[in-house]
Amino acid sequence: MEILLTRHGQTEWNVLGKVQGRADIELNERGIEQAEETGKVLKSEQIDLIICSPLKRAKQTAEIINKDRNISIIYDEDVIERDFGEFEGINKKEFDFEGYWSYKQNSKYEKAENIKDFFDRVYNFLDKIKEKYKDKRILIVAHGGISIPVNCYFNGIPEDDNLLNLILGNCEVVKYQYKD
């Protein structure tokens, strides 16, 4: 089984460096263009199913990619962005963003989703789809934050704990193969 993963297209908050976790921000003009470009790149790819975050920016990206293809889209809360809680909407430079993404540090927050809980959610999702869609080729349309635990699921957590190096760019696509 193979999955393709892409991050949603650009939003205004991406441009401003704001953390947008669960904030339901739409794509900006560049984000729409990126999704259209990704749709063209994926046109020749066999995709049996799209699983998408229910947030607008991911939904818009999935719908644009799926234009003229009519692939079934399932919206799944398990691939919604990490809950940034008290950090939602502020600039990444205004708090310890690197520490927030440290698996070893594993900080607990007042409202924000703990990193290990976040990883568990994404790992459980990946285990679930492996069983449910064994013979399918799936496109997951999600978020930069989601791309980190997905990478770690297939490749392990980096020794240096620098998880931010793993984040996908807007509409970047990667492929992962489940091992039997």
CA angle 143, 109, 80 (to 5 degrees): 20
Does the annotation mark 8 as catalytic? yes
- Non-local (6+) Cβ contacts of 109 within 8 A are 85, 86, 87
Where the chain has pLDDT below 70, the residues are 180
**Residue-range definition of the domain harbouring residue 113:** 2-177
Q: Which of 81, 86, 88, 94 is catalytic?
A: 81
CA nearest to 129, candidates 60, 70, 50: 50
- Amino acid present at 5: L
Residues 65-83: pLDDT tens digits? 999 899 999 999 999 999 9
CATH code for position 22 = 3.40.50.1240
Please count the structural domains in the chain. Answer: 1
pLDDT of residue 72: 96
Does the annotation mark 36 as catalytic? no
Residues 163-180: pLDDT tens digits? 999 999 999 999 999 986
